[in-house]
Amino acid sequence: MRSFPTHRSISLDTQVRERLRRWPQCPPGRDQDALAGNEVWLRGRPAEENICQPFLKLPGSDRLRTLPDGLWLNFGGTPEEAYVDIFAIEACSSLPNFLDKRSRFAPSTHSLMAVCPQAWLKAPLIEGDPTPRWKLTGVLRAEPVHPLILPVRDLRVMYGLTQRHYRGLVECHIPHPHEYFVPMDTLIAENGDKNPELQRLVAHASTRANFWLAGV
């Protein structure tokens, strides 16, 4: 099993990425929709393999990329009209770092694109199972020969903040509808993805949480 770094010289961002690498393919709290066949989630970042990982960008840009500390992709639609919903996690060790990362996910008139590199799509999902990721997306009919670039239909972001910054935001801040906030300790905790409160918060990030589903 991968040992978790505890030395003070290890940055909080690195600690969060190391911990998120142990999280499941489906964001914690969203597994019920996945099991019901309503969602097809794959963890894009951080990946287990040392390969090029999915990232986000603006249409027409080949330079400005957003590389979240954690990125989950929910593939949907058809091969002709495919899209992706994303759930991202950003670890913010300082206020300027938080403001910079937050600006990348601010509401905009621009469409955000998710880029899935060919190597990532062709790699197996888990060790010991040869099934490549592209077969699990449900939106590809054949092995990809190019990166898969899809429009982002829905975006949800969870920010991990230091205790001081987290308390400040709780006291005086109104989040945007797509934003969720947790103390950094929640993200780097052992088995943090199994925390019932975290799962409950992530469950609210589902679009289905906005609908009254009684009797459906």
pLDDT in tens, 170-212: 998 889 999 999 999 999 999 999 999 999 999 988 887 888 8
Write the burial class of residue 200 (CB in 10 Å: 0-12 exposed, 13-18 middle, 19+ buried). exposed
In the chain, pLDDT over 70 holds for what percent of residues?
Answer: 91
- CA quadruple 195, 17, 127, 2: dihedral sign: negative
DSSP letter (8 states) at residue 102: H
**Alpha-carbon gap, residue 135 to 173, rounded angstroms:** 42
Task: Judge contact between 54 and 115, C-beta under 8 A.
Answer: yes
What's CA 57's distance to the chain center, in Å? 14
Q: Which of 91, 144, 143, 88 is nearest to 114 (CA)?
A: 88
**Cis upstream peptide for 68 (omega within 30°):** no
The CB-side HSE value for 146 (13 A sphere, CA atoms) comes to: 3
For 100-127, the pLDDT digits (tens) are 999 999 887 578 999 999 999 999 988 8
The pTM for the full model equals 0.89
Give me the pLDDT at residue 173, please.
87
Task: Judge contact between 23 and 76, C-beta under 8 A.
Answer: no
* β partners of residue 116: 148
**Alpha-carbon gap, residue 117 to 138, rounded angstroms:** 16
How many degrees, rounded to 5, is the angle at CA 44 between CA 1 and CA 85?
140
